[in-house]
Chains A and B, each alone.
Chain A
Amino acid sequence: MNWFLLTQLLANGLIVGMLYGVVAMCFVLIYKSTQVVNFAQGEFLVLGAWVCLAMVVKAGLPFYIAFPFTLVFMTIFGILIQTVILRPLIGEPIISIIMVTIALSIIMQSILNWTFGNSSASFPQIFPVENVSLFGLQVETAYIMSLVLSVFVMALFYAFFQYSKYGLAMRATAYDQQAAQSLGVSVGQVFAMSWAISAVVSGIAGIIIGIVSGVSSSLAVIGIKVFPAVIVGGLDSIVGAIVGGVIIGLLENLAEFVDGQYLQWGNLYTIAPFYVLIIILVIKPYGLFGTRDIERI
């Protein structure tokens, strides 16, 4: 048994899993507060990555300026998508909304390919050192940044929902829209806010992955990986999304290890998460952290 490879892959899995967790969080945020299943989540990542890359490479801005500008762009983009495309759909059946987000995904994909090209591009070197050694493991600096940023974003999410008044308002809206309205919460504002937050955070995730493995339309695959993560964790639980993301990340790498060392089937890692998805749905249909209503006895 190759212990070194195993730990390396598990560390990898943890880092990638945290990133899945961040994207899954965005997905859950939108689902929870606006009841929209956003199939274009993956394209949000691609958009963020491309915009940032274009600013760095084409406009020649340094990364630390391009990064916040991208976030501003994503905020505006999220609000626009919500107000222009999804607001008129409030109250429509869920299937129409799903069709619209699938269409949004396809349209965004084409526009992105059209403007930024089909081939992949990579960020110029951002960190002075490419690798750092941590507990005897060689880790890419970008991976460390990815981990730090993921944890940072999660902590921010937690603080926002726990302590800020808008966070409370969003939770209340997710739980009972009309009750929240009766307390003076503007539901339209909450909806726009959740799309903006989701777009920004997806943008961050897109940039991180772009730095690690290059920017191309294949980044959108993360948007699909998010589904098993979200369903494992429970569709309406933010903590569940993170745990689900980490589980999927670890599983992928574990599958890679087993496959590479023993089975030699190839590509086991892409399907392993979906097997787990099925098993978890059989055992716990609400996901690991999905909420059921509180029943008073």
Chain B
Amino acid sequence: MLQVATEPKKAVAMENDTLLAVDNIEVVYNEYVLVLRGLSLEVQRGSITALLGANGAGKSTTLKAISGLLKSEDGKITRGDIKFDGQIISNQEPDTTVRSGISQVMEGRRIIQDMTVLENLKLGAFTRTDRANIADDIDLVYSYFPRLKERTGLAGYLSGGEQQMLAIGRAMMARPKLILMDEPSMGLSPLLVKEVFGIIKKLNRDFGVTILLVEQNAAMALSCASHGYIMENGKIVLDGTAAELRENEDIKEFYLGGSGERKSFKNIKSFKRRKRWL
């Protein structure tokens, strides 16, 4: 069942298995730039949910609204609210959000380049108070990313793929319930993208950590997500299970590249400039 949400959809009453519910939020930058215009989405506990859309649709802004990083960019949620695990977290300080169980893998990885891999991982556990278990968790991260263990130098010298793995491992160090991932495939070769997504799936399966995934690579994202949302101009325009979205003709054409048979140019509507009075 696929539905096109023309009106900003009211989030359904909280069910038990909804971990994150974004309810009709509006985000304004610099007091006047309206970026999100009534966006609603829900993430089920233990799922991988994909959020897709073109550049500038507001995907990263959505993630920043959830994590609270919006504040440092002069942004604000002016309407609607975000509920995480039953509690309203809209316009919260980012450190409080991390403490309540949301980690973020930011766009462009954003690892601390002049610190070592180990220091980056330790930093990921900044909010934790159970010091004794941190060393175990570092070993656990190394077991998922064996390549990182061999790298003893500064994190800035890691390859792009390794940096992405470090960023994901670092986010795991906080033992989050939900990870917000912003374009983990950015700048990676197709083979590495596959590897990274394999790891994301594995983390989701092994730890039951919920993942909200923002991606440009729609095919890859929909192959590992269970549910997907399509964004345009600060709104959700389409949502459904990943399987439904993969079969949707529009999505095939706009995001997945081609809808099977090649279209003839004759069938494509061309927009001629209409004659005006001048």
Contact = CB atoms under 8 A, between A and B. Distances in A.
Whether chain B is bound by chain A comes out as yes
B126 A181 contact: no
Interface of B: 67, 69, 72-73, 93-95, 98-99, 103-104, 106, 110-115, 119, 122-124, 126-127, 154, 156-157, 159-160, 170, 174
Interface of A: 165, 168-169, 171-172, 175-187, 291, 293-294, 296
A179 B114 contact: no
7 contacts: A172-B123, A181-B94, A181-B95, A183-B103, A184-B94, A184-B127, A293-B113
B126 A182 contact: no
Contacts of B72: 177-178, 181, 187
B157 A168 contact: no
Contact of A169 (B123, B159, B160): B123
A294 B73 CA distance: 25
Contacts of A179: 106, 110-112
Contacts of A165: 122, 126
Given A179-B110, A182-B69, A182-B94, A169 B126 contact: yes
A186 B99 CA distance: 11
B63 to A, nearest CB: 10
Contact of B98 (A168, A183, A187): A183
A275 B157 CA distance: 37
B129 to A, nearest CB: 10
A172 B112 contact: yes
Query: Which one of B95, B99, B115 has the highest number of Cβ atoms from chain A below 10 Å of its Cβ?
Result: B95
Contacts of B174: 183-184
Given A185-B123, A296-B159, 19 more contacts: A168-B115, A168-B119, A172-B112, A172-B123, A176-B112, A178-B69, A178-B73, A178-B106, A182-B103, A182-B110, A183-B123, A184-B95, A185-B126, A186-B95, A291-B114, A293-B113, A293-B156, A294-B113, A294-B154
A94 B106 CA distance: 27
Nearest to B67: A182
Most B CB contacts (10 A, CB to CB) among A169, A181, A185 go to A181
B94, B106, B111, B113 — most chain A CB neighbours (10 Å): B94
A291 B157 CA distance: 15
Contacts of A175: 112-115
